[in-house]
Amino acid sequence: MADLVTNDPQIAAIIENETTRQEQGLNLIASENTVSRSVLAAQGSVLTNKYAEGYPARRYYGGCDFVDQAEDLAIARAKKLFHAPYANVQAHSGSQANMAVYFALLNPGDRILAMGLSHGGHLTHGAAASFSGRLFEFAHYGLTPDTEVIDMDQVADLAKSFKPRLIVAGASAYSRIIDFQAFAEIAASVHALFMVDMAHIAGLVAGGVHPTPVGYADVITSTTHKTLRGPRGGLILGSEDLAVKINAQIFPGIQGGPLMHVIAAKAVAFNEAMQPDFARYQQQVVANASVLADALMSRGYKLVSNGTDNHMVLMDLTDKPLTGKEAETRLGRAGITVNKNTVPNEKKGPFVTSGIRIGVPLITSRGMKPDAVQQIARLICDVLDDVAAVDRVASQVKDLCRQYPLYPGEVR
């Protein structure tokens, strides 16, 4: 940082302020985490200098011997981690991984069946504002009205009537186990391809606390951050017979040169995810989320599906005098970062919403366990119950965060 402070003090100050925000606040964004020092080191390395269009041993530039080794290692580790026969590690994001798969397997205008956005799906699962909704024809399944879990009867009925070319399982805001076998059977019954977007649960799958889609899905996409605790980026897994099509859609189809520093950081994260303490971390994530769910419900707050099986909870504020946007803002003033989120049968729209999404991966990475999670639940409810509690809670949040530094041993 010394050179940056000298040469660009404005950016240095912004980074310092963000570091302070992360250190002193409770980040409960379900799609965020904190990476290891090793991941930071790889991503901040001289590999960022290297242009490497193409794939290992088939580059359009010279001087790629060592970045080839880094990408080969990332591919081998991804395949080993998830027990998958094929991996592409070049996707810059989960959205671009999804785009590449759609383009590899489908033609514009083809039909796709996926989870609806307000029920927990992702923008790339057919939202009108996304490339997916603009280029392909989507039908959407949702949650059962009573239990608020994925309505597999609806999935089966829509598959028969809509006749999709591709069925997508996976979500951005869903707190229960996904039955990949049931989806695969429905896809096979209508001769559709089956894709799983496991961006949110990839770390849970790697840690053995969520069933794997490998062996059921034709192709699997993911991010490499979130629960996987790596750098921000994308990943595609699948069978060898799809490798040529998918690789061609990543490059030259939708991307240019890969981010070799990020790919090296992905390799580091995949190696970390194969260590025994990573499985223990994921077990703690699930345990912490369960504690959070119970504590919030004990204070009278409704959760979608009345609980969680994974790393997040979805708080439904429909019956409260707060919108999701207002809750996000109020909690933010107290140093608690969440995001507003739609709930099933949303009435207020995606920019206001009737709910908030709360995740525990990052606080678990900081070392927090059930006692701390219980305290966090109390602080959340105190703020949502009474705006006058914001200043008191903000002080308690800072006190709690001091006990669990992002990077222990660093002097600040």
CATH code of the domain covering residue 341: 3.90.1150.10
28, part of any domain: no
In DSSP terms, 355 is beta-bridged to 316, 341
To the question of whether residue 122 is assigned a binding role by annotation, the answer is: yes
Identify whether residues 258 and 229 lie together within a single domain: yes
Residue 363 has pLDDT above 70, yes or no: yes
The pLDDT, as a whole number, for residue 345 is 87
Q: Above 80 in pLDDT, residue 410? A: no
Q: Tell me if 143 is assigned to a ligand binding site.
A: no
* Residue 52 pLDDT level (bands cut at 50, 70, 90): very high
Percent of the chain with pLDDT over 90: 97
- Indicate the average pLDDT of the chain: 97
pLDDT of residue 412: 54
Kindly list the catalytic residues: 51, 53, 197, 223, 226, 232
Q: Are residues 259 and 325 in the same domain?
A: no
Among 241, 274, 307, give the residue marking a domain's end.
274
Identify whether the C-beta of residue 59 lies closer than 8 Å to the C-beta of residue 52: yes
Inside any domain, residue 192: yes
Query: Is position 94 within any domain?
Result: yes
Q: What is the pLDDT of residues 255-287, one digit of tens each?
A: 999 999 999 999 999 999 999 999 999 999 999
Domain count, the chain: 2
- Which amino acid makes up residue 327? A
- DSSP H helices, 255-389, are 260-273, 276-298, 324-333, 361-365, 370-385
User: CA nearest 87: which of 243, 199, 216, 205?
Assistant: 243
Mean pLDDT of 68-89: 98
User: Looking at the predicted structure, is the pLDDT value of residue 190 above 90?
Assistant: yes
What pLDDT is stored for residue 411 in this prediction?
55
Where does the pLDDT of residue 1 fall: very low under 50, low under 70, confident under 90, or very high at 90 and above?
Answer: confident
Q: Is 366's pLDDT higher than 60? A: yes
> Is 28 assigned a ligand-binding role in the annotation?
no
Note whether 113 and 192 are within 8 A (CB).
Answer: yes
Identify whether residues 197 and 287 lie together within a single domain. Answer: no
Q: What is the per-residue pLDDT across 292-350, written as a single tens digit (0 to 9) for each?
A: 999 999 999 999 999 999 999 999 999 999 999 999 999 999 999 999 999 998 999 89
Q: Are residues 57 and 164 in the same domain?
A: yes
Same domain? 203 vs 157? yes
pLDDT-based confidence at residue 201 (cuts at 50, 70, 90) = very high
| 3-state SS record for 5-26 | HHHCHHHHHHHHHHHHHHHHCE
pLDDT tens for 79-122 read: 999 999 999 999 999 999 999 999 999 999 999 999 999 999 99
Selection from 29, 97, 66, 17 nearest residue 365 by Cα? 29
Q: 364 lies in which domain range?
A: 280-403
pLDDT tens digits, residue range 129-188? 999 999 999 999 999 999 999 999 999 999 999 999 999 999 999 999 999 999 999 999
CATH of the domain at 157: 3.40.640.10
- The residue out of 274, 305, 333 marking a domain boundary is 274
Percent with pLDDT over 70 in the chain: 99
Residue 409, pLDDT score? 78
Paired residues of 315 in beta bridges: 303, 356
State the pLDDT at residue 48: 98
Q: Which tokens hold the place of 34?
A: 């904190």
Domain final position from 274, 297, 330: 274
Alpha-carbon distance of 181 to 53, in angstroms, equals 37
Q: Is 20 a member of any domain?
A: no
